[in-house]
Structures are given as C-alpha cells and as structure tokens.
C-alpha cells in the first residue's frame, strides 16, 4: 500500500503536469533544431598559437626600448618565423649579463631556452614560459568567444547559440538566418585594423623580385567587381612594419555612402587617446602616405594632407553595402585576438527545413496510429488501456522536452517515434506474460499481478541497455545526433513510468470493475 | 487475437548449425564487400569535404547538374539523386572543403542556368579534415564504449559478475582510451577491432557467457548492417551511426528478453539440459519477440516511407537492424550459451 501511494504521488504530479502543459509553461517551448527550421552551423577553431606570437611581437618593441634604456645594444632581436621563440643577440660580457638581469627582473614570464656565442656576441633563444603561454591561449579563446558573441548580437540574429567546445573551438548556431554569406564573413574575419606608413624609400617592384626590406612587408590592395566578386586588379604596396595606430582605440564605426564618389565607406571614431595619437601621427608624417590595413590587406593609402584633429577617419575601399555593414560591425565589436579557421560549416535552407519537419511529423503521426490500431485489434480492451498510457507517454515526453528546453532535431523526431516502439514493447511484454499466466489457470487479478511483476524485471533490464547506448550517444554525439539521444533517453524513462506504473493502475481498476468476468486481453 | 500459438515448439537449437552457416555467410559477404570497397563509404561528416543537398522544382538530369557545378569550379564532384525520387532532391559530394563565401547563391544561379529548373532550396555541409577526423574517432569511440559498458551490465545482471566484468572492461577500455587520447591516429579502426577481439576472447576465458553471446550477436548485427550499406553503396553519416547505436540497444533488448527467460527457467528446473532450456525459453518468448519486432518495424517503415530524405537512410538502417537483430537474438546469442553446457549443469 505504502509503496503504491508513493508511486501514485509522482503519477498525479506528472499527470497534471502533462495535461496543464500549455498553462503551466506558456513560455517554455521545444526549440526546433537547425535541420528543421533552416539556419547556419559553424565550427571555428581559434588559432591560439597566433595569440602567443602576437604577444611576443608586441614584447619585441617594448624589450628593444628597455634594452636601450639599460644601455644594452640589441644586435638582433626577432621572432623565429612561425614559432614562439625570440632570437636575441647582444655583445658578450657586461651587456650580456646586464641583459640576463633585465630579463629576470622585468620579464618573469620569459625564460632563456638556450645561450650560445663567443667572446664577441652572445645569442639567446627566449620563449614564454609554458603556463603563461597557456594562459594567453586560453584568454585568446575566451576573448574570441566574447567578440563573436558581440558581433552576432549587433548583426541581429534571434536566439543564436554560441558555445566553446573543447579547448579552442567555438560552435555557433544561427537559426533562421537569411544571409549566411554575410554571417560567415562577419564571424571569421579577424578585423585587425592598423594604420601604417607606406615605405617610400624602397621600390616595390624591386622588393617583389627579390625580398622586401627588413622593416617592411609587401601587402596588396585588391579591387573586385562588386557584382561578380571577380578580382579585377591587385596593387602591391611596400608597407612599414611599425604600427602607428590600431583599432583598439575605436569607439564607433558606421557605414555611410559618399554620393560624390558614388561608393560606400565606413566612418570610424577614435576615443580621446586615439584621437590624440592620430593627430600626432598626421602632424609628424605630413605629406607621407598612410595606409589603412585591415587583416593584412590594404584598403587605401592616402597622402596626409593636413593634421587631423577630432579623431575621425574613414575607410574607403571597394566593398558592397553588405560587406561594408559587416565590416562596420566587426570593427565596432573589436578584433579577434587571433585568427580563426572554419572547421565545419553547415547551412540548411529554410524550405528544406520546412519540408523535413512536415514529413517528420506526418511519419510520426502515421507510425503512432498504426501502432494504436494494432494494439486495439490484438489486445482489445487491454490494448485500449495500453493506448491511453502510450498517449500519456507522448505527452510526458513532450512536456519533459519543453521543460529542459531541449532542441528537437530530425533525428530527434525519429527518436520520438522509436520510443513509441519501445513503450509498446513494454506493454507487449506485460500482456504476453499475463496471457501466459492466464493459461496456467490463474484468476485475472493474480495473472495481472504476476504478469506485471515478472515483466517489470525484463523491461527494466532491456531498457537500461538502451539507455546506456543513448547516454554514450549523448556523450559523443554532436548536433542532431545529440537531439536523438536526448529524446531517446527521456522517452525510455517516460515509458518505464507509464508502462509499469500507470498501466498497472489502470489494469487494477479494470479488473476490480470486472469482478470475476474474463479479462479482455 | 494471436499470431503464435502458446504451445509452439520449434526446435531452434536443432537447426543452429544451419543458422550459424547463414550468419557466417552474411557476415563474410559484408566483410568482403567492405574490403572490396576499402571500408564503408563515409559521408561528409566522417570523410570531410563538401556535401550539397539541392531540392529542385521538378526532376532534372544528373548531367545538367554536373554541368552547372563544373561551371563553379567544383569539377570531379559526384552527383546523385537523394532520398525519395519524387522529392527531386539531389546530393553533390566534393572532396574539396571549399570555403568560398556565398556558395549558396552562386549555386542556385548556376544550377538554374544549366538545368532550366528553379532551385527550391539548398543546404550545404562543409566539414574540414580535422573536424571529420574528430567525428570519425568519436563515432568509433561511441560504438566501442557502449559495447564495453553493455558487457559489464549483462555480466552483472545475469551472472552477478559485476566486479570481474568491470575489471575486464577497465583493462581493455583504459588502454584504448589513452591510445586515442594520445592521438596515434593511424590504424584507429584496427586498434578498436583488436580491442573487441581481445574482449571477446577474455569473455570466453572468464566464462562471461551471457556477455559473450550478446556482444557476438551485436557485432553480427552491426557488421551485416554496415555490410548491406556498403553493398548498396550508401553513405555512412552521423545519423547512420545514431541508427547503429539504436540497433545495438534494440537487438540487445531482444537478446536480454530471451536471456531473462533462460535465467528464469534455469532457476525453475536446473536439471534440464541447457539446449532444452534455451529452446523452451526461445519458444516461450517467441510471441513477444515477433510482435515487438513487427510493431517496431511498422513504425520504422512509416519513417522510411514518409519521413523525408534525411530520415530515409536512417530508417533503412533501422529496418535492417531490427530484422537482423531479431534473428540474431534467437539464432546467435542464445545458442552460444551452449558452449558451456557441461559446466553449468
């Protein structure tokens, strides 16, 4: 009795929950997966080693200054190409020991990996200590996540899902997005804005045929046909490595249209500090060409005509309205601390999604009806009881999915349908067992009790194994498959409950009413 | 209503040699097909590259589609019709994971031009090499570890050998886990297969007979399902892996119900010879086994026919799995228990 009361309690609670679902949870709903409503899925990987390299590059400038201050002449200081070590050369003897002291005092995060040389010069290989490098990488990923979230917010996508996966991956789901092209452009551009001088001493053509001078890079300005996207021309520039101003001082960036030039441009505003720097630069380098470089591509390289105060500038170049809009958002939201690469990109067209959900639901209804029909024909009244509990099972599942705000995917619908199969199986097991016991000559009541009791063990065993498969699936699955695992697991638990507890209650009630008449099974 | 008479007594055990032969042939055909095709035909999730699903207003010819995509610089891509023919859906696969922006728009334009039929909608899946490698590993991982966990559960439940089976699973699972962690990527499938063979051998040696029977039946089902996919040249996608794992659950479900009855009948009468007990148990549960399989099959067939292109192959895998799974729990999993008849009596 006590046990049955304890069992009835959750029954009542669950039952009322299942029925009052629309009133109790008006706000919680089952979300539709991307495969059902269309949208875009992106898996990005943050190149976090680049963040470490950037950090080292920034240190070079600073270190050079400090070395000069301490009267150590750096004969060479550079980062080893595509690595995370610096090569530094000084005079041997006193400068070398002074340098070691400086490093120890001012740069606890740097360590000397190796030291070689002779009486004239000493060469050091310096690297960031491991913990610090890990820290930089981690914060680069977090910062990238934050920036991407920021950009998406400004782009205006409803219910985006942005998550960190593993150490350096970011998963982005943009349901119902209309412009996947723009979204991708927005998310995977680093958006590092630099103002750098054009090298007017050396010749570009000469640099192209041999190699650029040590303090300059060859960067290109590309002109595209705005309609077809085909590249029309590429102009090489020799740009000084030294960055005079970066996008970090930006306060705003907006897309505007220049009716004189008949082209779009992005106007940018600097904060007080940035504006002062900009004024200083334009004063100092009057009549020189200042290149606006975004992600290593030259947008324009105008000659500075006068000192610019007030901190306004404009980025022109050839871009369409959409590209300009994306660029403005990217600049406003800030640069990514390191570049990202796309590992996975999936877009589902809205019409295909609609098609999928229509068919999924139809197949679900048909499958369920076929099962219901079969149960009534095969088990008569008991089959009808089974159908009632099966129906409850479906309601409970739906309620549970809404409660955890699960995302329903196409495989999820399949999972739903399969769970109906599992729940039916439980009933079949029970009924077959009762039939067996009846054949042995037991009374309906005794047969039903024994049937439920015996079948319960089997049902639990068989369901636990499916649950194990479902949990493993959840652990290792991604996206739609995870949705399948969720519905399957919820369905198994719900079917255990409805078949073993609710169905038995109904059965007992039926038998009591029947008295000694034979059971309709 | 009843399909199967309660007093049915088919001599399943008597024809076990014939059944083993049938199973062996099916498994061999599957394995040969897999070897000939150099492994299963992986979908874009596991192989990487580009997969485009296009829905047209009406039927178009494959050559017209090929022309259209060649104009986009996607030469060498394969085109095939996808799902149910009346849906006018086609799938394009290219090994290149081209990241060109705006593929959707240019595809629609170019295909409209080459086929003269309006494109209703386009879905694009692009999976890079790193991501597909990860997905492949995860899928293998999932199948392997679910088998290991099930081994523990079955040995525990049916023979109360929780500790023994857990220790065995740990002895096999932990090294495999570390091998995978350290990314000795090459020969991953081989490592997993070896681990499975070792675990089967250990089951045999440690006399975890129920687990052995169940796992052999599962491997039998999985091999045949994957084999049939390979024979029909259907892609193994993420969804198919989900189907495979569900098949594991289902087939095991069937097996356990027969085992459960065997356990019960042994408790009732432990003098009867094992073959007789097994035969009786199979016959007693036959009605349930066929009914459930039939009902589930009905549901899955409804998914197969009505569920649309994406669910189509998933449902197909389930159909094979349910049929083979039902067969294997009667003809494979149970007869294996006889291997120990002398000791159990």
- Supply the CATH number for residue B210's domain: 1.20.1640.10
pLDDT at res. A512: 82
User: Who among A366, A418, A478 is closest to B246 (CB)?
Assistant: A418
Residue of A nearest to B55 (CA): A352
Note the ipTM here.
0.81
CA distance to A152, A162, A268, A396, B45, per residue, from A173 (Å): 11, 6, 30, 28, 17
pLDDT at A205: 85
DSSP A450-477: HHHHHHHHHHHHHHHHHHHHHHHHHHH-
Q: Where would I find the H helices in A107-238?
A: 130-155, 180-188, 204-209
Q: Is the pLDDT of residue B342 over 50?
A: no
Would you call B238 and A466 a contact, using CB atoms and an 8 Å cutoff?
no
Residue B167 maps to a domain = yes
Give domain status of residue B168, yes or no.
Answer: yes
Question: Is residue B72 domain-shared with residue B118, that is, in the same domain?
Answer: yes
Same domain? For B118 and B176 the reply is no
Q: Has residue B3 been placed in a domain?
A: no
Assess if residue B7 is contained within a domain: no
Inter-chain CB proximity A472 and B105 less than 8 Å? no
Q: What is the pLDDT of residue B101?
A: 55
**How sure is the predictor about B185, in pLDDT bands with cuts at 50, 70 and 90?**
low
Q: Which of B127, B153, B171 is the last residue of a domain?
A: B127
> Do A193-335 and A2-36+349-514 fall under one CATH topology?
no
Q: How far is A32 from chain B, CA to nearest CA, in Å?
A: 16
Which residues in chain B touch residue A359, judged by CB atoms under 8 angstroms apart? 306-308, 311
Which pLDDT does position A318 carry in this prediction? 76
**Any idea which fold A2-36+349-514 has?**
Multidrug efflux transporter AcrB transmembrane fold (1.20.1640)
Which residues does chain A have within 8 Å of residue B284's beta carbon, measured at their own beta carbons? Answer: 436
State how beta strands A263-270 and A312-315 pair: antiparallel
Pair B107, B190 in one domain: no
* pLDDT reported for residue A402: 73
Q: Which helix (H) or strand (E) holds A292?
A: strand A290-294
Q: Would you say B293 and B254 are in contact if contact means Cβ atoms under 8 Å apart?
A: yes
Residue B182 pLDDT greater than 80, yes or no:
no
List chain B residues with CB under 8 Å of A479: 238
State the count of interchain CB pairs (< 8 A) between A and B.
Answer: 223
Q: With H, G, I as helix, E, B as strand and everything else as coil, classify residue B213.
A: helix
Cβ contacts of B150 on chain A, cutoff 8 Å: 465, 468-469
Instruction: Mutate one of B296, B314, B315 to test the A interface: name it (highest A CB count within 10 A).
Output: B296
Nearest-Cα residue of chain A relative to residue B54: A352
Domain region containing B298 = 13-43+131-344
Nearest to B308 among A360, A417, A485 (CB): A360
Nearest CA in chain A to B6: A436
Contacts of A35 in chain B (CB under 8 A): 310
Instruction: For chain A, give every domain's residue range.
Output: 2-36+349-514, 39-188, 193-335
Residues A348-374 as b/e (b if ≥16 CB within 10 A, e otherwise) read bbbebbebbbebbeebbebbbeebbeb
- Please tell me whether residues B293 and B229 are part of one structural domain: yes
- B107 CA: distance to closest CA in chain A (Å): 13
CATH code of the domain covering residue B76: 3.30.70.260
pLDDT along chain A (521 residues), means of 10: 41 44 48 79 90 85 83 82 84 85 86 85 88 90 90 82 88 83 83 89 85 85 77 88 86 87 88 90 91 88 88 84 86 87 85 81 87 90 89 81 74 79 87 88 86 87 84 77 83 87 85 76 75
- Nearest-CA neighbor of B241 among B229, B256, B251, B232? B229
Say if residue B191 is in the same domain as residue B320.
Answer: yes
To 5 degrees, how large is the angle CA A152–CA A158–CA A161?
Answer: 65
Task: For residues B168 and B229, state if they share a domain.
Answer: yes
CA B98 from centre of chain: 31
Output DSSP code: residue B236: B
Structural domain tally of chain B?
2
End position of a domain, from candidates B127, B145, B164:
B127
Map residue A156 onto helix, strand or coil. coil
Render pLDDT for B91-126 as a digit per residue (tens, 0 to 9): 888 877 655 555 667 777 788 888 888 888 888 888
pLDDT at A10: 44
Among B108, B127, B146, which residue terminates a domain?
B127
Question: What is chain B's length?
Answer: 345
Interface test with A, best of B104, B284, B308, B329 (most A CBs within 10 A): B308
pLDDT above 90 for B321: yes
pLDDT at B75: 65
Ramachandran angles phi, psi of B324, nearest 5°: -65, -35
Tell me: pLDDT of B246 over 50. Answer: yes
Q: Are residues B220 and B110 in the same domain?
A: no
Q: What is the pLDDT of residue B340?
A: 58
**Which of A351, A367, A378 to mutate: most B Cβ within 10 Å?**
A367
Q: Are residues B156 and B34 in the same domain?
A: yes
CB contact under 8 A, A469 and B150: yes
- Whether residues B318 and A418 touch (CB distance < 8 A) is answered with yes
The CATH architecture of the domain made up of A193-335 is 2-Layer Sandwich (3.30)
Is B206 within the bounds of a domain? yes
Same domain, B145 and B279: yes
Q: In this structure, are B319 and B171 located in the same domain?
A: yes
pLDDT at A8: 39
- Greater confidence (A28 vs B219) lies with B219
Q: Check whether residue B108 and residue B193 sit in a common domain.
A: no
Q: Are residues B186 and B57 in the same domain?
A: no
What φ, ψ does residue B58 adopt, rounded to 5°? Answer: -145, 180
For an interface test with A, give the residue of B100, B255, B290, B291 to mutate (most A CBs within 10 A). B291
Decide if A181 and B104 are in contact by the 8 Å CB cutoff. Answer: yes
The answer to whether the CB of A41 falls within 8 A of the CB of A345 is yes
Q: Which pLDDT value is given to residue A196?
A: 92
């Amino acid at each position: 009795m006590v046990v049955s009361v304890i069992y009835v309690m959750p029954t009542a609670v669950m039952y009322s929950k299942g029925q009052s679902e629309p009133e109790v949870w008006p706000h919680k709903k089952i979300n539709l997966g991307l495969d059902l409503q269309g949208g875009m899925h992106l898996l990005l990987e943050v190149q976090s080693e680049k963040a470490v390299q950037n950090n080292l590059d920034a240190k070079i400038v600073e270190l050079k200054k400090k070395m000069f201050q301490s009267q150590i002449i750096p004969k060479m200081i550079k980062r080893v190409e595509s690595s995370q070590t610096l090569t530094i050369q000084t005079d041997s003897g006193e400068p070398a020991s002074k340098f070691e002291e400086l490093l120890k005092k001012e740069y606890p995060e740097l360590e000397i990996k190796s030291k070689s040389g002779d009486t004239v010069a000493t060469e050091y290989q310096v690297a960031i200590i491991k913990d610090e490098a890990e820290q930089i990488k981690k914060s680069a990923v977090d910062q990238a996540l934050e920036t991407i979230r920021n950009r998406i917010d400004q782009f205006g996508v409803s219910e985006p899902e942005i998550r960190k996966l593993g150490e350096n991956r970011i998963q982005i789901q943009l349901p119902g997005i209309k412009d996947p092209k723009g979204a991708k452009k927005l998310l995977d551009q680093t958006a590092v804005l630099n103002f750098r001088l054009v090298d007017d001493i050396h010749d570009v053509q000469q640099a192209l045929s041999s190699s650029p001078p040590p303090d300059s890079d060859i960067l290109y300005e590309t002109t595209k046909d705005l309609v077809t996207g085909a590249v029309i021309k590429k102009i090489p520039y020799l740009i000084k490595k030294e960055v005079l101003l970066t996008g970090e001082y930006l306060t705003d960036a907006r897309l505007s249209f220049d009716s004189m030039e008949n082209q779009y441009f992005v106007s940018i505003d600097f904060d007080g500090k940035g504006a002062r720097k900009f004024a200083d630069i334009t004063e100092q380098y009057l009549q020189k060409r200042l290149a606006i470089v975004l992600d290593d591509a030259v947008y324009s390289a105008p000659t500075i005509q006068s000192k610019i105060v007030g901190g306004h500038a404009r980025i022109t170049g050839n871009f369409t309205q959409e590209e300009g809009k994306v660029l403005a958002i990217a600049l406003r939201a800030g640069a990514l601390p390191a570049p990202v690469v796309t590992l996975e990109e999936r877009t589902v067209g809205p019409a295909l999604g609609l098609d999928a959900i229509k068919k999924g639901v139809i197949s679900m209804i048909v499958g369920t009806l076929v099962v219901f029909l079969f149960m009534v024909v095969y088990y008569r009244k008991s089959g009808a009881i089974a159908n009632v509990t099966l129906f409850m099972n479906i309601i409970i599942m739906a309620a549970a999915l809404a409660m955890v705000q699960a995302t329903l995917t196409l495989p999820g619908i399949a999972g739903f349908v399969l769970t109906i199969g599992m729940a039916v199986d439980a009933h079949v097991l029970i009924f077959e067992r009762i039939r067996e016991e009846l054949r042995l000559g037991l009374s309906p009541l005794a047969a039903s009790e024994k049937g439920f009791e015996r079948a319960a063990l089997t049902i639990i065993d068989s369901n636990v194994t499916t649950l194990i498969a479902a949990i493993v699936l959840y652990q290792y699955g991604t996206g739609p498959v995870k949705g399948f695992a969720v519905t399957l697991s919820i369905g198994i638990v719900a079917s255990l409950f409805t078949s073993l507890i609710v169905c038995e209650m109904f059965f007992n009630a039926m038998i009591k009413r029947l008295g000694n008449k034979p059971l309709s099974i | 209503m009843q399909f199967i008479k309660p007093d049915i007594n088919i001599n399943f055990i008597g024809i076990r040699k014939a059944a083993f032969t049938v199973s062996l042939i099916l498994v061999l055909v599957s394995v040969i097909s897999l070897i000939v095709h150099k492994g299963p035909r992986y979908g874009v999730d596991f192989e990487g590259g580009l997969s485009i699903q296009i829905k047209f207003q009406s039927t178009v010819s494959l050559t017209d589609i090929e022309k259209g995509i060649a104009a986009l610089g996607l030469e060498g891509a394969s085109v095939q019709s996808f799902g149910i023919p009346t849906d006018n859906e086609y799938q394009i696969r290219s090994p290149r994971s081209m990241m060109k922006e705006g593929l959707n728009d240019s595809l629609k334009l170019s295909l409209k031009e080459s086929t003269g039929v309006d494109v209703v909608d386009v879905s694009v899946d692009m999976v890079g090499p790193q991501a597909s490698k990860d997905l492949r590993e995860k899928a293998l991982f999932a199948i392997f570890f679910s088998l290991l966990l099930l081994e523990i559960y079955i040995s525990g439940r049916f023979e109360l050998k929780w500790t023994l089976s857990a220790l065995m699973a740990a002895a096999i699972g932990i090294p495999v886990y570390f091998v995978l962690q350290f990314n000795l990527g090459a020969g991953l499938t081989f490592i997993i297969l070896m681990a499975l063979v070792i675990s089967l051998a250990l089951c045999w040696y440690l006399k975890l007979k129920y687990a052995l029977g169940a796992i052999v039946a599962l491997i039998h089902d999985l091999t045949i399902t994957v084999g049939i996919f390979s024979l029909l040249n259907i892609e193994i996608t993420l969804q198919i892996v989900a189907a495979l794992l569900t098949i594991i659950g289902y087939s095991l479900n069937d097996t356990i119900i027969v085992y459960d009855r065997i356990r019960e009948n042994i408790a009732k009468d432990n003098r009867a010879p094992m073959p007789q007990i097994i035969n009786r148990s199979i016959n007693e549960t036959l009605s349930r086994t066929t009914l459930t399989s039939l009902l589930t099959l009905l549901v899955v067939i409804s998914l197969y026919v009505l569920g649309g292109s994406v669910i189509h192959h998933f449902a197909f895998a389930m159909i094979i799995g349910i049929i083979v799974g039902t067969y294997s729990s009667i003809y494979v999993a149970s007869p294996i228990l006889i291997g120990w008849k002398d000791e159990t009596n």
